[in-house]
Chain A
Amino acid sequence: MLFPAALGLGLPLGIGLAAIGSGIGIGFLGKGAMEAMGRQPEILPKLQVAMIIGFGFAEALTIYAFVTMFFLQGRIG
């Protein structure tokens, strides 16, 4: 397979796969946070901070794929 063609197929696919992983991670985080909030509404501020940090870590994985796409985008040709 030609390198540009492989890139053209692989880059969107890679972002999609990364997004699946991030989505699962963020979904679990949100689920846990919501349940905890429902049980103990008084720890809301602390929980929110931890949740946002977790979101940041989970989301970073998709962003890496995204940045990789931008670096390689020009070589699709």
Chain B
Amino acid sequence: MDQARPGRDILDRALRASWIAALALAAAVAPGRPLDAAAILAGQLLAFLHFIFLRKIVKLFTEGGRDPRLALAIGAKVVLVYGGLAGLITLGGVRYVPLCVGFALPFLTLFLKSIMLALGAGPASLTARRATETARSFGNAAKPAVFLLLLGAATLLAFSALPGAALADEAAHGAPAAQEATAAHGDATHHAEEGAAELPNWLVILHDFNPGNPLVSWLEKNQVIVFAWIAGLLFLLVSWLAMRKPKMVPGPFQNGVEWMVESMEEVCGGLLGPQIDKHFPLIGALFFYILTINMLGIIPGMKSATSSLDLTLALALITFLYVQFWGIRNLGILGYLDHLAGSPRDAIGWAMLPVMLPVHILGELAKPVSLSCRLFGNIFGEDTLIVVFVGATALLIKASLVALAVPPMAGITALFMMLQTLTSIVQALIFSLLATVYLYMMLPHEAHAHEEAHETH
């Protein structure tokens, strides 16, 4: 069936991708400029209609004959798409740029899809998947998980844009002197918070060269999200490349990715038992996402987004909500409360209830805090360590001791970068393993009583 209508398959995929892109774009600009977001969506809708009608027209035309529906479709397309465009433009208030961006999105995605097709990622290979069961289910399930993570990052972005917009409005209305004072103050605190302890990444460098550019300064302010997005896209790209043409006898790349996924599942499955199938998508996605983010920091000019507490806290909160959700789902509301109360079964248990309940609730609440602080502290600490050594090298260079300073310092920095690689892997592993352990504590223990079920309680 894939050979029958290859074009339609590509068109569907491209349109779906363009809808996702348009929604993300609209969500990103919505808090500041709702009209622009609406314009993007309107443009996307018009282009979508354009493609839908075009497909219908081509189908009717190639099927031959003088079908009256052909004229009807052409007429409807002209009226809806071109009339809609003309109407929106003459309406006033709608800006051209977001409208054109929205209208161009489906064309762009279709173009990209065509390039991919030309490069060998045909729709047949996209749909007919014959991978090992694990890799396939992970590949399928990880995509929505990563998409959710990306969506979360987009929401963060939208919210972080809010105070900036408010500040800009305030500054525009206020006196120039006050404006300068706020700007200087904001700059100073900004640099005191971040500039001291980090190597400059390419966004900071870009910002230094284009201090006035609003887009660049906006990106520089939200660099954590930018780098998290880069890592997420990298992750998606690698998983897509590996599972693009899955074979029974995998090539080296697919084999490597499958090996990573399977060994991770083995490690988590040793803790969680057969229930791992249900929960591995999130745990595996967390592991590989955090690993990608951590590893990104080793590349010069890049930054690991996990060296910001915001991102690690978001990840830990996702884990926390997931664990609580499955706890309630598996134990029932009453069982969940019973679990929180420490499962009182005798008089002493009931007597201890007023003590045990707050202790258990505090223990649950401490989990996301410890998860996020551990990841943040480790990655941030490693980054700071390297900054200290690079800073010492820079100081010695300033004192014109280049020949003396650079070789040993470069060696030490390289050693710490190796250590950073190790930390990246171990911290990603610890994060996902602890998520697994927290999940294991919440799941009913009768299901795998043969194991050391009493160890955790």
Query: Which chain A residues have a beta carbon within 8 Å of chain B's beta carbons?
Result: 45-46, 49, 52-53, 55-56, 59-60, 63-64, 66-67, 70, 74
Contact = CB atoms under 8 A, between A and B. Distances in A.
B191 to A, nearest CB: 12
A44 to B, nearest CB: 11
A67 B377 contact: yes
A56 B270 contact: no
Interface stretch (B217-225, B243-251, B317-325, B427-435): B427-435
B377 A56 contact: no
A64 B267 CA distance: 27
Interface residues of B, number: 20
A59 B382 CA distance: 14
A20 to B, nearest CB: 17
B380 A70 contact: yes
A60 B374 contact: yes
Nearest to B437: A53
Nearest to A53: B433
B45 interface: no
A64 B192 CA distance: 22
A53 B270 contact: no
Contacts of B192: 74
Given A63-B373, A63-B374, A67-B376, A56 B381 contact: no
B429 A52 contact: yes
Interface string B38-80: 0000000000000000000000000000000000000000000
A55 B378 CA distance: 13
B433 A49 contact: yes
Interface in B362-378: 370, 373-374, 376-378
Contacts of B238: none
A49 B267 contact: yes
Nearest to B373: A67
Contacts of B378: 59, 63
Contacts of A63: 373-374, 377-378, 381
B450 to A, nearest CB: 14
A53 B373 contact: no
Contacts of A64: 370, 373, 377
